[in-house]
Amino acid sequence: MPEGDSVYRVARRLDRALLGQRLTRARLQVPAHATAELAGATVVANETWGKHLLIRSDAGWTLHTHLRMDGSWTVTGPGKVLPRRLQPDVRVLLGTEAGSTAHGLSIPVVELLDTSAEHRAVGHLGPDPLREDFDPAEAVRRLSSDPTRPLAPALLDQRLVAGLGNLWANELCFLRGHSPWTPVGEVDVAALVTLAARSLQRSARVPEAYQVTTGRTRRGETHWVAGRAHRPCLRCGTPVRVVAEVPGDPDRRRTWWCPHCQPGPGPEAC
Catalytic sites, residue numbers: 2-3, 51, 254
- Degrees (nearest 5) of the Cα angle 42, 126, 265? 140
Under 8 Å between Cβ of 42 and 67: no
Please state the length of the chain. Answer: 270
Closest CA to 183 of 150, 145, 155: 150
Element at 93 (helix H, strand E): strand 90-96
Contacts of 43 (CB under 8 A, 6+ apart): 18, 19, 20, 21, 23, 55, 56, 57, 94, 96
**Dihedrals phi, psi of 94, to nearest 5 degrees:** -130, 105
Angle between helices 4-18 and 189-205 (to 10 degrees): 30
Contacts of 141 (CB under 8 A, 6+ apart): none
Cross-strand pairs, 54: 47, 64
Q: How far is CA 240 from the centre of its chain?
A: 25
Nearest-angstrom CA–CA distance, 79 and 254: 43
CA distances from 36 to 28, 29, 31, 104, 114 (A): 7, 10, 10, 16, 13
Cross-strand pairs, 198: none
